[in-house]
Amino acid sequence: MKKYIQVHPWEIVESGFHSEFAKISESIFSLGNGRMGQRANFEEHYSGQTLQGSYLAGVYYPDKTRVGWWKNGYPEYFAKVLNSVSWNQIRVIVDGVELDLNKYEPIDFQRTLDMKNGLLKRAFSVIMPSGVKLSIETQRWTHMSRKNLGGIRMQITPDRDCEINIHSVITGDIRNQDSNYDEFFWEDTQSGYENAISWVSQKTKKTGFHVYAGTRTYTNCCQTFIKSETKVSELSVDDAFRVEAKSNESIEVVKYAAVLSDMYVDTADFSKQMELELNEAAECGWQKLCAEQATAWQEVWDNADIQIEGDDTAQQAIRFNIFQLYQTYTGDDSRLNIGPKGFTGEKYGGSTYWDTEAYCLPFYLGTATSDVAKNLLVYRHNHLPKAVENAEKLGFTNGAALYPMVTMNGEECHNEWEITFEEIHRNGAIAYAIYDYINYTGDEEYMETYGIDVLVGIARFWSQRVNYSENKKQWVMLGVTGPNEFENNVNNNWYTNKIAVWCMQYAKDSLAAIQESNLETYQDVIDRLNIQNEEIDRWKEIGENMYFPYDEEKKVYLQQDGFLDKELIPVSELEENQRPIVEHWSWDKILRSCYIKQADVLQGFYFFEDEFDLDEHKRHFDFYEPLTVHESSLSPCVHSILANKIGNHDKAYEFYLRTARLDLEDINNDTCDGCHITSMAGTWLSVSKGFAGMRVKDGTLTFNPNIPKKWSSIGFNIKFRDNYLRVQLSHESSQLSNLDGPAIDISVNGSTIHIPSNKTINI
């Protein structure tokens, strides 16, 4: 665990340069605006370990599958968000020697991520071989309101006269480090320099996305810059300047970048739009653009911030998680989704997983307008035909839908058999998200317009995936992988069986609700989807007769058949040098062990908590948590929420810090690959559903708070249906404010509180 980040409520601060953590810092200090993003690579050249990363939302490449033994049904590619045009390079050469912090150790190095204002800052000094001491300060942003715009401001101050050459570079010579065959994913690359603008144009192979990026560099100092020759190659442009720098006089370089893709701009308009955006940036100037950026972020914080008093470690962590989530996804485009690493790295290809529905959707429900969360659901609805195709490839019929484990356009693009074919519980997360959205927003119309088609397709899949066991005289599900990926090809994974039954029941109930409310719409659904009474009866019969593995002695549901045949040794008895086990053990040893990667049975208790009493919650938590190694980033938040529910408040706080500071302290030893964006939503869930005890019961917002001893209070704003609310909780009291919207009834610790419009109630 790396603890080199200083604690500050609104900033992430790295004090002192830690080259051994360079790639981790590049992830942590990443920037984005929902449409594009960058890892926090240095502006100047750096020859040490680095992952140069600049990514555009929705622009991907189908990288050919690399697998040793092909199986029928395998996808032909893994979709990957592309490492695209790099525009942030400002190379600095002093008296003929290039600045490189891997060669010349910096003095007083400090890197700061200003989360309140959306600004990355860096300051350091360095003594060059000629004896010149340079003091350098940089600022950078990707603009939240000007979605195609990025900017850098660099100030260079030498302590003596010297010659400094500045090279403002934009290049398309960038490759994905996760390329399966070291392939260059771009073609038709062109570059040029016109009207003081450097530009690079590229097109992706196969998918045919066009990207056009341009930069313009300005200098502003009391010395005379001499414009050097601008070098244009096929892949890049080097816009060079030379200055005879004077002692203790600062050189300022400002660089604006406009990065366009044909996702949003017609290719015929690329040049005109790029020039327009760069000219507008120049007219505004750096300070005004920074002010606009701060205003845009203030709007986010007004809605999404959580204030924790008494614990700056917890406060910094929750804000970092919220900051990265909104850098990744802003919800204005239903073609986009949330990659597990966002714009911070290449692992998982930037594709969509079930993480979005299970963890991210509730975050956006609470912190944004309902359209943002709705777009996440519409994304899946639009991919329904592909989900049907995915199921057909595996032999399913009659419109059965299997949503992909990994996707960019709805096609499955994951190629590990135990995941692609067996981790089918992901279907349940899609259905649960529809329930979650409607339960929270009250948008019943969504079901008729979009949701029912998805639910029926998923129910049809489950009804074909089970089979009847003559031995058990019950329905069973064979050959699956549950959320715990440290168990493959098991029979009757409890969570998978549970969510399959729930999905079929929810589809059945939703059809009945549509029939009751609008007979004409119901008949249209029946006709359009060709639903027969026999298949609805089958859903009901399966649900009433599904087999769930259970141990009568321990009185717990078993993760799957045969789980108690394992040697049940608690994680506490593992030696530290064996952790994480995925890095130290063979896969054979892991599969035979009792150790659980992430919440599995407990994931079901989290989703369906009202079906189990408090004693059942305690028994299952006490049985499974000691066997869980939490080597999935999605695990600690669920355990934090459940620990709070059963009154284990120390554990709840422990798991909150683990999920909230997962990347800030590199707890899972993999932040170098990028931050765990989707699990960051779990941090918000740990606070809102855990410590604040927030739920929606029968259309009523409820709170059962139990905040950590170390915290004086927590406060946050929440959007709920027609209301905009303020929640302030402490150990002694609660305060609820109805900031906007009609009068509302809210339940707190079982008591109903009536809050008139624009009023505050103290409890």
Domain-wise residue ranges, the chain:
5-281, 715-762
**Greatest distance between any 2 Cα atoms in the chain:** 89
CA distances from 543 to 291, 346, 399, 463, 727 (A): 57, 41, 20, 10, 39
- Please identify every residue annotated as catalytic: 485
- Spell out a b/e string for 149-158, using b for 16 or more CB atoms within 10 Å of the CB, else e: bbbbbbbbbb
- Give the pair of three-digit tokens for residue 414: 């994951």
Q: Which residue has the tokens 């931050």?
A: 675
Q: Is the pLDDT of residue 359 over 60?
A: yes
Residue 614 CA, distance from chain mean position: 32
The neighbouring-strand residues paired with 153 are 139, 254
Phi-psi region of 350 (alpha: psi -120 to 50; beta: other; left: phi over 0): left
- Average pLDDT estimate for 60-87: 85
Q: How many degrees, rounded to 5, is the angle at CA 636 between CA 630 and CA 641?
A: 145
Determine how β-strand 700-703 pairs with β-strand 744-748.
parallel
C-alpha to C-alpha distance for 697 and 747, rounded to whole angstroms: 9
Q: Are residues 390 and 362 in contact, defined by beta-carbon separation less than 8 angstroms?
A: no
In the chain, what is the straight-line distance between the N-terminal and C-terminal CA atoms, in Å?
41
Q: Which residue has the higher pLDDT, 506 or 64?
A: 506
Contacts 24+ apart (CB under 8 A), 741-745: 744/701, 744/720, 745/700
C-alpha to C-alpha distance for 605 and 547, rounded to whole angstroms: 17
C-alpha to C-alpha distance for 319 and 5, rounded to whole angstroms: 14
* Mean pLDDT lowest among 67-81, 592-606, 731-745: 67-81
Q: How many residues does the chain have?
A: 763
**pLDDT attached to residue 414:** 87
C-alpha to C-alpha distance for 692 and 697, rounded to whole angstroms: 15
- Spell out a b/e string for 180-214, using b for 16 or more CB atoms within 10 Å of the CB, else e: eeeeebbeebebebeeebbbbbbbbbeeebbbbbb
**pLDDT attached to residue 225:** 66
**pLDDT attached to residue 224:** 60
DSSP structure class, residue 732: S
Q: Are residues 113 and 12 in contact, defined by beta-carbon separation less than 8 angstroms?
A: yes
Quickly count: other Cβ atoms within 10 Å of residue 352's Cβ.
28
- Spell out a b/e string for 648-686, using b for 16 or more CB atoms within 10 Å of the CB, else e: bbebbbebbbbbbbbbbbbbbebbbbbbbbbbbbbbbbb
Q: How many degrees, rounded to 5, is the angle at CA 507 between CA 502 and CA 512?
A: 125
**pLDDT attached to residue 223:** 53
Q: Is the pLDDT of residue 296 over 60?
A: yes
The neighbouring-strand residues paired with 151 are 141, 256
Residue 487 CA, distance from chain mean position: 25
Q: Are residues 489 and 481 in contact, defined by beta-carbon separation less than 8 angstroms?
A: yes
User: Would you call 354 exposed, middle or buried from its count of C-beta atoms within 10 A (0-12, 13-18, 19+)?
Assistant: buried
CA distances from 719 to 366, 441, 552 (A): 5, 9, 44
Instruction: Tell me the torsion sign for CA atoms 322, 326, 329, 330.
Output: positive
Q: Which residue has the higher pLDDT, 234 or 303?
A: 303
- Average pLDDT estimate for 589-604: 97
- Give the pair of three-digit tokens for residue 118: 């959306």
Whole-model pTM over 0.85 = yes
CA distances from 203 to 43, 62, 81, 185, 595 (A): 25, 14, 14, 9, 46
Residue 558 CA, distance from chain mean position: 31
- Average pLDDT estimate for 589-605: 97
Contacts of 513 (CB under 8 A, 6+ apart): 444, 447
Quickly count: other Cβ atoms within 10 Å of residue 123's Cβ.
16
Contacts of 252 (CB under 8 A, 6+ apart): 153, 154, 155, 156, 219, 220, 221
Quickly count: other Cβ atoms within 10 Å of residue 611's Cβ.
11
Q: Is the pLDDT of residue 221 over 70?
A: no
Average pLDDT across the chain, whole number: 95
CA distances from 696 to 167, 365, 492, 706 (A): 56, 12, 31, 17
Quickly count: other Cβ atoms within 10 Å of residue 745's Cβ.
11
Q: Is the pLDDT of residue 374 over 70?
A: yes
- Average pLDDT estimate for 670-674: 92
**pLDDT attached to residue 725:** 97
H or E stretch covering 298? helix 286-304
Q: Is the pLDDT of residue 284 over 90?
A: yes
Please report, as a single letter, which amino acid is at residue 39: R
Instruction: Tell me the torsion sign for CA atoms 208, 259, 168, 37.
Output: negative
**pLDDT attached to residue 743:** 97
Quickly count: other Cβ atoms within 10 Å of residue 220's Cβ.
13
**pLDDT attached to residue 419:** 86
Q: Is the pLDDT of residue 226 over 90?
A: no
The predicted-structure confidence for 426-458, as pLDDT tens digits, reads as follows 999 999 999 999 999 999 999 999 999 999 999
C-alpha to C-alpha distance for 246 and 243, rounded to whole angstroms: 9
Instruction: Tell me the torsion sign for CA atoms 289, 291, 297, 303.
Output: negative
Nearest Cα to Cα of residue 172 among 196, 188, 149, 194: 188
The predicted-structure confidence for 239-251, as pLDDT tens digits, reads as follows 999 999 999 999 9
Q: Are residues 367 and 325 in contact, defined by beta-carbon separation less than 8 angstroms?
A: no
**pLDDT attached to residue 763:** 87
**pLDDT attached to residue 178:** 82
Q: Residue 553: helix, strand or coil by DSSP? A: coil
Task: Work out the pLDDT band at 572, boundaries 50, 70, 90.
Answer: very high
User: Would you call 408 exposed, middle or buried from its count of C-beta atoms within 10 A (0-12, 13-18, 19+)?
Assistant: buried
Q: Which residue has the tokens 């204002």?
A: 117
CATH of 5-281, picked from 2.70.150.10, 2.70.98.40, 2.60.40.10, 3.40.630.30, is 2.70.98.40
